[in-house]
Amino acid sequence: MKIMRVEKTLVSTNRIDSLGHRPLLVVQEKIGGTRSVAVDSVGCIPGDWVICVGSSAARDAAGSKEFPSDLTIVGIIDHWQGDGD
Q: Which helix (H) or strand (E) holds 75?
A: strand 71-76
Residue 84 pLDDT > 60, yes or no? no
Look up residue 82 and give its amino acid: G
| pLDDT tens per residue across span 13-58 | 877 776 777 889 999 988 788 899 999 989 999 999 999 998 877 7
- Which residues, other chains included, contact 81 with Cβ-Cβ below 8 Å and sequence gap of 6+? none
Cα separation, 9 vs 55, whole angstroms: 21
Q: Are 50 and 75 in contact (CB under 8 A)?
A: yes
The answer to whether residue 85 scores a pLDDT higher than 60 is no
55-67 pLDDT, tens digit per residue, is 877 777 776 677 7
- Domains plus CATH for the chain? 2-12+21-76 (2.40.50.220)
